[in-house]
């Protein structure tokens, strides 16, 4: 009759499979060890944790507000027609940008303006509105989920350049982003990608 193995003999016999580590300690380490599958999943999550969508467009030319024979305020929907950079989960749909996926998005408007020869002496208002809505603009603002508005007073020849940034949630893919500017005659929106550009960036898939 064969005698059962002693505790030391069991450990000795098993250590050939546990790289010389005591079997009970090796098993405890195994239970708490990070597995390759865990690292692969973490790596994928980190890769997706940054920008999830992006698109941008610029103006093809300068946009002038007003006309020489009118002193009243004028407005324009800025025609962002020239794609700038990659398009992921959104794309230019002139004069707008169109969102293809739901989630949290950030709109950034880089805007450059300058007074020109038609500007009357004195100062006047200049207004910027960013619209988010399910329809394309057709000659003016249309039904929208929300809009964001800024108004400043500018001297007739004063240049003005700034960046507007807004976060919003898209629950239904297909929304359009567009920009309306309004003000007194004599103000030009500079059609240069270094001065005027509209972009969107997706940062999260969650909508609630």
Tens digit of pLDDT at every position of the chain (208 positions): 555 545 554 555 465 666 566 676 657 666 655 555 655 554 455 445 556 899 999 999 988 887 656 666 678 899 999 999 889 999 999 999 999 999 999 999 999 988 776 666 666 778 899 998 888 877 555 566 678 899 888 877 778 888 999 998 888 899 999 999 988 777 888 888 788 999 999 987 765 5
Q: What is the largest CA-CA distance in the chain?
A: 117
Q: Please provide the distance, in angstroms rounded to a whole number, between the alpha carbons at the two ends of the chain.
A: 70
Q: What is the three-class DSSP state of 188?
A: strand
pTM, full prediction: 0.70
Backbone dihedral region for residue 183 (phi beyond 0: left; psi -120 to 50: alpha; all else: beta): left
Which residues of the chain are in CATH 2.60.120.40 domains? Answer: 51-204
- The per-residue DSSP string of 47-80 comes to HHSS--EEEEEE-SS-EE-S-TT--S-EEEE---
The two three-digit tokens of residue 24, written as one number: 């009970």
In the CATH hierarchy, which top-level class contains the domain 51-204?
mainly beta
């Amino acid at each position: 009759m064969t005698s059962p193995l002693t505790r030391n003999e069991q450990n000795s016999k098993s250590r050939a499979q546990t790289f010389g580590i005591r079997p009970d300690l090796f098993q405890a380490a195994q239970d708490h060890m990070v597995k390759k599958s865990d690292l692969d999943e973490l790596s994928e999550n980190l890769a997706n944790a940054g920008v999830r969508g992006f698109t941008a467009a610029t103006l093809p030319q300068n946009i002038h507000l007003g006309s020489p024979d009118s002193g009243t305020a004028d407005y324009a929907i800025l025609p962002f027609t020239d794609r700038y950079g990659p398009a992921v989960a959104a794309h230019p749909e002139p004069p707008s940008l169109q969102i293809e996926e739901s989630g949290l998005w950030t709109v950034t408007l880089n805007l450059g303006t300058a007074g020109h020869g038609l500007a009357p002496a004195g100062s006047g208002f200049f207004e910027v509105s960013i619209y988010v809505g399910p329809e394309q603009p057709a000659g003016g603002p249309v039904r929208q989920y929300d809009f964001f508005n800024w108004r400043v007073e500018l001297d007739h020849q004063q240049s003005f350049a700034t960046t507007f940034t807004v976060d919003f949630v898209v629950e239904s893919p297909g929304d359009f982003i567009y920009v309306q500017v309004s003000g007194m005659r004599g103000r030009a929106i500079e059609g240069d990608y270094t001065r005027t550009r509209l972009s969107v960036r997706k940062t999260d898939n969650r909508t609630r």
